[in-house]
Chains A and B, each alone.
Chain A
């Protein structure tokens, strides 16, 4: 168990090894560890942010869906209303048209009746005159009795 220069040799090796470790081994490993720590922290933060964004998007999509449904319902209601309105309008115009046609028909009929009555009146007057002349056996002077005849025509 003698002390000798081995001690110094060991000391020199010790110093060199520590120097090498401090220079070339420790820093890169620790840097890599730190960088990974940062990466992981960033990743977790991003994941949190993503989750938050997802929640927001889900809420927004639900809102949009609800809005769209409301709008659709509104449009349907409007259409319904419009349909009823149009039907009413159509009915009203049809009724008016019918009325108008009826009135025109009535007017026509009235005219026809008047015309027929006029013709009939003339025929009756003529008939009456013929009858009267037959009765009287003589010609009635149409001119002399024009007043009488037209009064008769009016009466009929």
Chain B
């Protein structure tokens, strides 16, 4: 089905989640990369040794969340925009998500934006906590948002109000 839709199913995403202990400890990266393609920048960019070296460049990246610091270098370098950082310990009711964003205008810090799912549907509201757009990111900016706990597995994009 994924090959027809390009939309990962809940099962596929849950399989990418790290262990309960890691999820309760702090931020971790989730790579929504499900197809073998010749690509490995996530592994070469990672300074924490959380993305194992590729034996074959076509391999699907394996994240060792024990080592992941949630730095989000992978979020910005991934040509497929498939890397996200999740922090379930952000607050009692909210989860923090760092996502790649290549659109203008950038959202404003502290603004409330639409939380979009993998099909671009509005599934709730997100608060913009941080906007990183420094030169090093080379236009793949990193937006940090917080969303209600119930929807954090669905939210992968934000929508700003139409001009």
Partners in one complex: no
Residue positions of A touching B, CB distance < 8 A:
none
